[in-house]
Homo-oligomer: A and B are copies of this chain.
Amino acid sequence: MEVEFKALLDDLDVLEKSLSDPAPIHKLRSHVENLATLSKCNPHRRSKVKELSSEVVDSNPYSRLMALQRMGIVENYERIREFSVAIVGIGGVGSVAAEMLTRCGIGRLLLYDYDTVELANMNRLFFRPDQVGMTKTDAAVQTLAEINPDVVLESFTMNITTVQGFETFTSSLTNKSFCPSKEGSGVDLVLSCVDNYEARMAVNQACNELRQTWMESGVSEDAVSGHIQLLVPGETACFACAPPLVVASGIDERTLKREGVCAASLPTTMGVVAGLLVQNSLKFLLNFGEVSPYLGYNSLKDFFPTMKMRPNPQCSNVACLERQKEYMLAKPERDAAAKAKMEADASIAIDEGPLHDDNEWNISVVDDENEKDATKAASSSDTLPEGLTRELPDADEYEKEIAIASGSGETEEEDDLEDLKKQLEALNAA
């Protein structure tokens, strides 16, 4: 439109020179200038910020996030700007996950999808009817850049299950130009938000090869259940180690989507799964709370099963077997590090112990210097502002009881392959 306005004003200049009375042209010009201003009017497109501020003013887009530090939930929220997250599949779950990370001020997002926006996608959050026909990656970049210009967005409009696509995928994950000093591959986490087995296997292959931690997510075809899962190559089961809990049995899954058959979907289930996925990602990246190894969501019953899956020593994926071997070989090192940490923590605890052991009011005195550490170490219920009490009961007590009573409870026992198989069979049979 700017070009058009420029041409219009030039024409008016020419016309003005040919007229004896320039007054009507002046009037026209003021109309046109007015319109040009109106067309650009976007009064509050927000500008980039250099540093995250914790100042509590209405104009600070990060005040409510930096408050996580003041409340003792996260030790260093600003680190979020150093992280790169790759999201594969920008559909009902991936798009919402991308928006959540963007609003949290993540450093860099890599987005992968080959699909276009359709009206049939409007029953999930994120895409708008005016974006119909755009590629999902382009539409996502358009929306996300407007929401938070501080996030570096890179989009890849391609299918990662093709040979060429897979190559571009792995090379984009290993590009370290965003944060060259960091260890590991070029990204901190890969989120799989795809809707088919083939794409999940491609993500699994790439992450096993690159020693890349990733999280898987999924929503059932009937729209009422879903799950998220953490996969650490060599340490947890990879996607090929155990059969997925939803499988196309004796049928090519591609035929399931043909002939007027379409999966149901709901913005609620997909929004919840995206929320649980990004919450788990934030806990993983910013080091707070407990990262869930697997979390299911059965919306009909509001039932949320958890479990841990160890790698399968007979996994069909060669890269997975290599990672398992590496993980086993590094065991003495891990044990030594864990022991050293425990001893260090114990000595800190002694240093910071209360002056009086018998202390009716549970008051403890700590050095100012150590206060920050103490806040972090203390249960977060101690860090609420004066006048507030915590809403939910302590989960520890309940979890212990549940873990004992229920086979699905998270346990610290060493499960061997037979146990794992039995668990999966029981789950599939139920």
Residues of chain A having any CB pair with chain B under 8 Å: 1, 4-5, 7-8, 11-12, 14-15, 18-19, 24-25, 27-28, 31-32, 34-35, 38-39, 42-46, 55-65, 67-68, 70-73, 96, 99-100, 103-105, 118-120, 122-125, 128-133, 146-148, 218, 220-227, 245-251, 256, 260-269, 271-272, 274-276, 278-280, 282-283, 288-290, 292, 295-306, 380, 383-399, 401-402, 404-408, 426-428, 430
Are A279 and B266 in contact, with the CB atoms below 8 A?
Answer: yes
Q: Do the beta carbons of A391 and B227 come within 8 Å of each other?
A: yes
Given A100-B268, A103-B125, A272-B276, 15 more contacts at CB 8 Å? A1-B39, A11-B31, A14-B24, A44-B132, A59-B119, A61-B119, A61-B120, A68-B223, A73-B264, A225-B392, A249-B389, A298-B395, A304-B304, A305-B395, A393-B408
**Is there an interface contact between B18 and A67, defined as CB atoms closer than 8 Å?**
no
Chain B residues with Cβ below 8 Å from A298 are 392, 395
Given A56-B260, A262-B67, A387-B251, CB of A129 within 8 Å of CB of B147: yes
CA distance A142 to B104 in the complex (A): 24
Residues of B within 8 A of A60 (CB): 119-120
A415 to B18 alpha-carbon distance, docked (Å): 92
A302 in contact with B290 (CB, 8 Å): yes
Contact B68 A264 (CB under 8 A): yes
Q: Kindly list chain B residues whose C-beta atoms are within 8 Å of the C-beta of A266.
A: 65, 68, 104, 279, 282
Given A1-B35, A391-B218, check contact A63 B262 (CB 8 Å): yes
- Could you say which residues of chain B place their CB within 8 Å of the CB of A300? 283, 288-290, 380, 395
Cα-based distance from A384 to B131 in the complex (angstroms)? 32
Q: Name the B residues within 8 Å of A264 (CB-CB).
A: 64-65, 67-68, 70-71, 73
Contact status B120-A221, CB under 8 Å: no
Q: Is the CB of A146 within 8 A of B120?
A: no
**Copies of the protein in its oligomer:** 2
Q: Which of B224, B279, B303, B394 contacts A399 (CB 8 A)?
A: B303
Q: A18-B24, A301-B289 are in contact. Are A56 and B262 (CB under 8 A)?
A: yes
CB-CB under 8 A from A224, the residues of chain B are 73, 289, 380
Whether B100 lies near A393 (C-beta < 8 A) is no
CA separation between A251 and B387, bound complex, in Å? 6
When distances are taken between beta carbons in the complex, the residues of chain B under 8 Å from A103 are 122-125, 267
Please measure, in the bound complex, the distance between the C-alpha atom of A105 and the C-alpha atom of B388, giving whole angstroms: 39
Q: A43-B133, A56-B260 are in contact. Are A222 and B305 (CB under 8 A)?
A: no
Q: CA–CA, A12 to B397, complex, Å?
A: 79
- Given A129-B147, A227-B391, A405-B401, the answer on whether A386 and B282 have CB atoms closer than 8 Å is no
Give which listed residue, B223, B383, B399, B426, contacts A73 with CB less than 8 A: B223
Report the separation of the CA atoms of residues A272 and B263 in the bound assembly, to the nearest whole angstrom: 22
Instruction: Given A8-B31, A261-B56, A408-B398, decide whether A246 and B119 contact each other with a Cβ distance below 8 A.
Output: no
Tell me which residues across on chain B come within 8 A of A130, comparing CB atoms. Answer: 42-45, 146
Q: Is the CB of B100 within 8 A of A133?
A: no
Question: Looking across the interface, which residue of chain B has its beta carbon closest to that of A293?
Answer: B302
A279 → chain B closest CB, angstroms: 4
User: With A27-B11, A278-B268 known to touch, is A123 a contact of B65 (CB < 8 Å)?
Assistant: yes
Cβ distance A28 to chain B, nearest Cβ, rounded Å:
6
Q: How far is the CB of A43 from chain B (nearest CB, A)?
A: 7
B221 contacts A385, C-beta separation under 8 Å: yes
Q: CB-nearest residue of chain B relative to A105?
A: B123
Chain B positions within 8 Å of A133 at CB level: 43-44
Contacting residues, chain B, for A396 (C-beta < 8 A): 301
* Distance from A216 Cβ to chain B, minimum over Cβ atoms (Å): 12
How far, in Å, is A271 (CB) from chain B's closest CB? 4
- Assuming A247-B389, A401-B406, is B46 touching A122 (CB within 8 A)? yes
Smallest distance from the beta carbon of A23 to chain B beta carbons, Å?
Answer: 10
